[in-house]
């Protein structure tokens, strides 16, 4: 009876020793060295079609990695350029060949890392580095508006240095133009024409948002002849959500800040034949003084509709000359009749208040007028008059990117209309 505890103790120690030995073997290779399972140099197992040392690769030539040994296979390939962009590629199901599926970027340098397994399952790796030849023709992009703080209705713009009519090339451009906002919102680009894009969210921007716009097109092939150029990034912020809603039939403008009414102003809008445009407009500029003449909108000098007036506190909402401005000559009609040539007129004190309250990008919406609806692109920023479904049709990524808007953003910018 006295020997039993000692036998139990010896058996326990034997089991402990076996466990320790097994654990040590699992952490290392066959020779017991913990480092022996590090990937070996796979240079002898694979073939790479990159350029010779000291030479540069043609961006139009696809990359290819294949195995020389029938028992070996490729397990992974990553190709990253100096901009941090990954080159898309495809690995065959049997692991024998990998090839790039998109063009390389021009004028950059790539690092290619290849992972392999030999016939015994031992891992291998190989890293290659090479440069690509520079592009000869570049597609430049300029972002707008200028850096600053804007209203929540301000669209972003991208002006290209060359036309891009092809849908696939347009998709490449869109993928390279990155917009990030804080708070995050859902948005999309719209191709106004072959060289002009606008970007807006599904709804207005949030108040007090930060918006960063940059191009990731540097060196990227857009067309057979054009590669993306480096572009200057842009940072914007938004202020309060200011909305001015004019009811032309009721002859009043209601101004809201962040959803709360802050003022209601009596106004006059366009009379019959000069009806103010309905729809959403965006403040384009503020001009403390403007000389307004009837000839600028096609009214013959000396006719009954002719005018030549000094105008103060003028907030522009269309390029063709529609303003919100002081109209002391029509104070008797403000709040009860429409007598203007298309502008929204109000008292001098109210116009000065409005001028000081709004900023570029703020919303000016007209309802209840017999006028046509503000056009989307040829007369300022009427972008918000397209619903979200129609807006997405202008994107090469979401809807085609070749809508027929019937507008021309190069339309001459006309003079004020009063």
Q: How many Å apart are CA 342 and CA 315, to the nearest integer?
A: 13
Query: Which entry of 198, 252, 325, 341 is annotated as an active-site residue?
Result: 325
pLDDT value at residue 251: 98
pLDDT in tens, 364-407: 999 999 999 999 999 999 999 999 999 999 999 998 766 544 44
138-238 sits in which CATH class? mainly beta
Query: Which residues in the chain show pLDDT less than 50?
Result: 1-30, 32-35, 404-415
Q: How many other C-beta atoms can be found within 10 angstroms of the C-beta atom of residue 264?
A: 10
**Maximum Cα interatomic distance, the chain, rounded to a whole number of Å:** 132
Domain coordinates in residue numbering, the chain: 40-132, 138-238, 242-389
pLDDT value at residue 257: 98
pLDDT value at residue 309: 81
Does the active-site annotation cover 325?
yes
pLDDT value at residue 246: 98
Q: Strands, DSSP E only, in 28-171?
A: 40-41, 46-48, 56-57, 64-67, 73-81, 89-91, 97-100, 109-117, 123-132, 138-139, 141-144, 148-150, 156-160
242-389 sits in which CATH class? mainly beta
Q: How many Å apart are CA 242 and CA 359, to the nearest integer?
A: 9
Pick the CATH number of 40-132 from 2.60.40.3780, 1.10.287.70, 3.50.50.60, 3.10.180.10: 2.60.40.3780
CA distances from 155 to 41, 146, 193, 251, 258 (A): 53, 12, 16, 28, 19
Does the active-site annotation cover 343?
yes
Query: Which entry of 198, 251, 252, 343 is annotated as an active-site residue?
Result: 343
pLDDT value at residue 291: 77
Going by C-alpha positions, the residue among 87, 39, 44, 82 that lies closest to residue 62 is 87
- Matching CATH topology for 40-132 and 138-238? yes
């Amino acid at each position: 009876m006295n020997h039993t505890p000692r036998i139990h103790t010896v058996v326990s120690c034997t089991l402990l020793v076996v466990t320790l030995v097994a654990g040590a073997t699992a952490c290392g290779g066959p020779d017991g060295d913990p480092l022996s399972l590090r990937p070996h140099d796979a240079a002898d197992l694979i073939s790479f079609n990159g350029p010779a040392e000291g030479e540069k690769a043609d961006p139009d030539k696809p990359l290819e990695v294949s195995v020389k040994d029938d028992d070996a296979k490729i397990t992974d390939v990553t190709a990253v350029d100096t901009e941090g962009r990954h080159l898309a590629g495809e690995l065959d199901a049997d692991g024998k060949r990998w090839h790039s599926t998109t063009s390389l970027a021009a004028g950059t340098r790539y690092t290619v890392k290849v992972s392999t397994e030999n016939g015994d399952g031992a891992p291998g790796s190989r890293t290659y580095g090479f440069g690509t030849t520079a592009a000869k023709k570049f597609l430049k992009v300029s972002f707008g508006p200028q850096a600053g703080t804007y209203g929540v209705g301000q669209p972003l713009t991208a002006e290209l240095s060359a036309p891009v009519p092809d849908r696939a090339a347009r998709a490449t451009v869109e993928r390279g133009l990155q917009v990030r906002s804080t708070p995050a919102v859902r948005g999309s680009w719209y191709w106004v024409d072959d060289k002009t894009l606008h970007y807006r969210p599904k709804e207005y921007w949030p108040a007090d948002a930060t918006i960063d716009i940059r191009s990731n097109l540097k060196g990227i092939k857009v067309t057979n002849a054009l590669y993306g150029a480096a572009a200057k990034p842009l940072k914007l912020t938004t202020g309060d959500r200011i909305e001015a809603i004019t009811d032309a039939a009721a002859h009043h403008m209601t101004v809201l800040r962040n959803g709360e009414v802050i003022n209601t102003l009596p106004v006059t809008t366009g009379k019959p034949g000069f009806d103010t445009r309905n729809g959403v407009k965006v403040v384009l500029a503020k001009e403390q003084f403007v000389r307004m003449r009837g000839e600028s909108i096609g009214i013959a000098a000396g006719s009954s509709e002719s005018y030549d007036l000094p105008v103060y506190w003028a907030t522009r909402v269309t390029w063709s000359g529609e303003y919100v401005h002081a109209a002391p000559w029509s104070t008797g009609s403000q709040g009860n009749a429409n007598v203007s040539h298309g502008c929204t007129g109000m008292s001098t004190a109210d116009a000065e208040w409005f001028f000081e309250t709004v900023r570029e990008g703020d919303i000016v919406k007209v309802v209840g007028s017999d006028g046509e609806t503000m056009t989307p692109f040829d007369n300022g920023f009427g972008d918000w008059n397209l619903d979200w479904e129609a807006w997405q049709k202008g994107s090469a990524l979401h809807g085609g990117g070749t809508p027929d808007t019937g507008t021309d953003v190069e339309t001459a910018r006309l003079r004020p209309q009063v």
